[in-house]
Chains A and B, each alone.
Chain A
Amino acid sequence: MLLIPCPWCGPRDEIEFRYGGQAHVAYPADPSALTDAEWADYLFMRDNPKGDWSERWMHAAGCRRWFNAVRSTVTHEIRGAYRIGEEPPP
């Protein structure tokens, strides 16, 4: 079970959180202007890297805030968590 560093509450057990998939996949400014392929890309396609990536979490049983974290998909190690609107840790 991961120990997730909520940027608002500090490190807490994974069971308190809801997972939200890849971070920084912004809702398109004008979906109606997108081709079917572009929309499908937004809707269905996500990165699947081996190594660090940014993902979304929500502290469902705590402050109920969404935030982002950089986690290794190989070791599950979380390198850092950051609030919505902040930059990922270097």
Chain B
Amino acid sequence: MTSRRLDAGGRGIDRARRIGFTFEGRALSGSEGDTLASALLANGVDVVSASPILGRPRGVFSAGVEEPCAFVEVTAPRFEPILPATAVRLVDGLVAVGRPGVGQLPADDAGAPAADHRHLHVETIVIGAGIAGLRAAVSAAREGDRVLLVDERHWLGGTASASDDVDGTAAPAWIAAAAAELAAAPEARVLTEATALGIYDDGYVVVYERSTPIARVWHVRAARVVVAAGAHERPIAFADDDRPGTMLASSARLYADRFGVLTGTRAVVFTTNHSGHDGALALADAGLEIAAIIDVGNGGPASDRARARGIDVRNGWAVTGTEGDPRVSAVHAAGPGGVADTFDADLLLVAGGWNPAVQLWRGINGGLRYDEARACFLPDGTGPRWLEIVGAAAGEGLPTVTPFWFTPAEDLTRHFVDLQRDSTVADVLDAVSRDLRSTEHVKRQTYIGTAIDQGRTSGVLTAAIVNQAWGAGPGAQGPTNARPPYTPVPYSVLAGRDRGPTLLDPVRTTPIHRWHVAHGATFENVGQWKRPWYFPGGPAEDLHTAVARECLAVRQAAGVMDASTLGKIELTGPDVATFLDRIYTNRMSTLAVGSIRYGLMLGLDGMVFDDGVAMRLADDRYLITTTTGGAAKVMDHVEEWLQTEWPDLRVYATSVTEQWATLAVNGPKARAVLAALGTDIDLEAAAFPFMAWRDGEVAGMAARVARVSFSGELAYEINVPGHYALAMWEAVIDAGAPLGLTPYGTEAMHVLRAEKGYVIVGQDTDGTVTPHDLGMSWIVRKDDSDFIGKRSLRRPDTVRPDRKQLVGLLPADRDRWIPEGAQLVALSDAGATPPVPMLGFVTSSYRSPILERTFALAMVKGGRDRIGTTIVAATTDGPIEVEVTAPIFHDTEGTRRDG
């Protein structure tokens, strides 16, 4: 391993500041300002990684994000599974190993990089801080704009060379002056190591900044977006064009100019345009021996200049292949009339032309056109009015190119086109021979452009080969679209702080939650809510035992459930009764103050949308409840209709879900529990009938008690302001204990309601179910007045007799439990070879302690006519014969609700 660092030069590094790092277990050192790639090259590392499919040795091919070869895993200071070494800033203690183009994530996400998210509003964002970008940023700052300038590299000035002249000034001095002016501008901000991942509608740009200890994602809204992303040099395909020591010509020039690294000692330059000659001369000045310039063009001033320097220039020649193990040691070339030559060289510099970096421009529908002279796709000026593109990305300063895509040969299987996919010219032509014409299809056959670099070096080349193979013009088809992110970004960075059990999604708990936790409840998630699922009686009690105990307590004594998560909306105003009649299928306007009515809401399509009860609090005031998961959508629904269709109705809706806590006391001893709590409310059935509410004092607290039952048992739902909920709960537990009261969770609640055939919207319904399908025609009013969804109940589809209808199921084997979701088929189809017609599916299925058997609810085609027949649930454990029944299993006369 020899040092390839020159003794002097390298304006981008600070030689005095040594940076220690480790590559493949070897301790190496570089300088402040290096990239990992420049430091590896300086240390004479020829092979960085193996190619992903063929395992061929690969070295550094470029000096930026277009890199298709030199991929590494970085384990320190911050884990990154896969990065091009050309885009990694060298920092002290960096540890990296080569990776064959495929990253591996650790088993846990402890090492996933964190990120903060910031928001910024500017008049102008400039993407790319090369000469064009700096110019645009300075100009905008002078206009008084708030300006954000971002660049993915850790320096300003992009790929400009020290010898470049900018407005009559040497590039380094011009760049320093521009940077100083921006630093002094009060409203300008410059971010390096900051990649614009994508440009979105209305000037929204997402930037990933890596220069800070914790990465940042910037959400930028800009009135004007200027793309100054530069251009990437592209290779030419020839035999063994992937051999280490083969490199883009402009990259070698950048390594010499910026990092003081000569990437070889004796080079062949293979070029289609004068930038190759210019690069060769600049590198010769830096001390590189130029064995030959292989120029596919017919000669011109650039060739003449090189010859004048004594360089062997072969016009009309092309490189045919390389030799070396692993690094290039010889380059073969051929010229007109079949002449051939071999050059001793350890470096092969390729200058195939330039691809403007139009990915971000294209991603927000900026248009492209093919430019014949420069043999590339350029912005055509169409696109969002706030979007601009400048500099090399817009074609500015790009040389005229003699189009040349690959060197013809008998064997094209080592002419690599996409080095990161090990895809060759032969692969492209094979795809064409299968009649694939679109580059999008060729991409999917060859995988070209699907790798990390999204085809930066291979896309235009592939399109040209496809166009040529089909005899179409060179611009007939462009490369496939690259999509955001511009370069890869870890998901953890996009997630930012919104990770983990509490920040990914809000967690909602009731005011009684800490009692549930203290008493060992097992929780289930219902939307964002944590609800007690069941209360294990001890460490040994499992779900089934606990639920059976809780169910029997409610059926035989009493239970209390925290029903605070039910959605609650208070509606007030002179027209509230009219409004409720329009959104419920039954009449709410006839409800007396002090009474409660169950109601169904439908969507416009006639399908069940939500259910709950309405309490009339006053002539102009109702409190309605919704399902736990439906609270927000019902509020939206109410607001939408009030604002958009019936703004004439004077109704105001307020969500009070969290203001009220609800304790549901159910069971034959519920009245005794209330009495034991102490209340001034007359609890006798005659004075306080089913579906009535009363305000009063319970256990010394102001409460609203509602006789609503979701178990079929005598029930009192005690509503108190949230702050009183825990005190009331503890009072209920204490007062009920001598009566056998037990707390119960959602699982027991599900079993109890299913025994009574009460549906749960969203479990027994799925948005395709009408009230008639549920056997709930009784709740659909028959008069002439309209309600939302009414007209749809007469549509031909909703009156079909073979619609799925809610039924009960009793397995022939009383112990056999049917999985929810199980498909139902005819008895005659049991065991038949699929496919067999499906009759329906199971929506709810439980073991009932009171029935001492399993049972289920199901939606079955023409189900009500099948009551009394036997059908079959098809399960992975074999068929289960079930009897179809009415969807009610317990207390069919409804005698238990008054206790």
Contacts and interface: CB of A to CB of B under 8 A. Distances in A.
B221 A3 contact: yes
Given A31-B786, A32-B784, A43-B604, A3 B647 contact: no
B645 A26 contact: yes
B601 to A, nearest CB: 16
B496 to A, nearest CB: 14
A30 B796 CA distance: 19
B639 interface: yes
Contacts of B605: 43
Given A2-B201, A3-B203, A27-B645, A36 B796 contact: yes
B644 A40 contact: no
Nearest to B640: A66
Interface in B774-804: 784, 786, 790-792, 794-796
Nearest to A40: B795
Interface string A37-67: 0011001000000000000101010001110
A78 B202 CA distance: 9
Interface size band for A: 20 to 34
B791 A39 contact: yes
A2 B202 CA distance: 6
Contacts of A66: 639-640, 643-644
A39 B792 contact: yes
Interface in B632-660: 636, 639-640, 643-645, 647
Contacts of A75: 365, 384
Interface in A18-37: 18, 20, 26-27, 30-32, 34, 36
A32 B644 contact: no
B791 A32 contact: yes
Interface size band for B: 20 to 34
Interface string A6-27: 0000000110001010000011
A76 B636 contact: no
Nearest to A74: B365
Contacts of A40: 795
B758 interface: no
B630 to A, nearest CB: 16
A85 B647 contact: yes
Nearest to A68: B644
Contact of B202 (A3, A18, A20, A85): A3
Interface centre among A18, A27, A34, A65 (most CB of B within 10 A): A27
B583 to A, nearest CB: 12
B204 interface: yes
A3 B221 CA distance: 9
A75 to B, nearest CB: 7
Interface centre among A26, A34, A66 (most CB of B within 10 A): A66
B611 to A, nearest CB: 22
B640 A20 contact: yes
B598 interface: no
A36 B795 contact: yes
Contacts of B794: 36
B690 interface: no
A27 B786 CA distance: 12
B724 interface: no
Contacts, number: 60
Interface centre among A34, A58, A78 (most CB of B within 10 A): A58
Contact of A18 (B200, B204, B636, B796): B636
B224 to A, nearest CB: 13
Contacts of A30: 786
Contacts of A77: 384-385
B643 A3 contact: no
Nearest to A44: B605
B635 to A, nearest CB: 9
A65 B640 CA distance: 8
Contacts of A36: 794-796
A9 B132 CA distance: 37
A84 B784 CA distance: 29
Contacts of A39: 791-792, 795
Nearest to A30: B786
A77 B383 CA distance: 11
A85 B644 CA distance: 9
Contacts of A84: 643-644, 647
B792 A43 contact: yes
B790 A1 contact: no
B640 A1 contact: no
Interface centre among B201, B204, B365, B792 (most CB of A within 10 A): B201
Contacts of B200: 1
Nearest to B605: A43
Contacts of A14: 201
B121 to A, nearest CB: 10
Interface string B363-387: 0010000000000000000001100
A76 B385 CA distance: 12
A21 B435 CA distance: 41
Interface centre among A43, A60, A78 (most CB of B within 10 A): A43
A85 B648 CA distance: 12
A32 B795 contact: no
B84 to A, nearest CB: 29
A3 B640 contact: no
B196 to A, nearest CB: 15
A52 to B, nearest CB: 15
A34 B644 contact: no
Nearest to B642: A66
A26 B247 CA distance: 65
A31 B645 contact: no
Contacts of B792: 39, 43
A22 B377 CA distance: 38
A30 B786 CA distance: 8
B647 A1 contact: no
A14 B204 CA distance: 11
Interface in B168-211: 200-204
A40 B798 CA distance: 12
A59 to B, nearest CB: 11
Interface in B372-429: 384-385
Contacts of B643: 65-66, 84
7 contacts: A2-B202, A18-B636, A32-B786, A39-B792, A43-B604, A43-B792, A75-B365
Sorted nearest first, the 9 A-B pairs with minimum C-beta distance are A31-B791, A3-B202, A66-B643, A1-B204, A27-B645, A76-B201, A2-B201, A66-B644, A39-B791
Given A43-B604, A75-B365, 19 more contacts: A1-B201, A3-B203, A13-B221, A20-B640, A27-B645, A30-B786, A32-B784, A32-B786, A32-B791, A36-B794, A36-B796, A39-B795, A43-B605, A58-B639, A65-B643, A66-B643, A78-B202, A84-B644, A84-B647
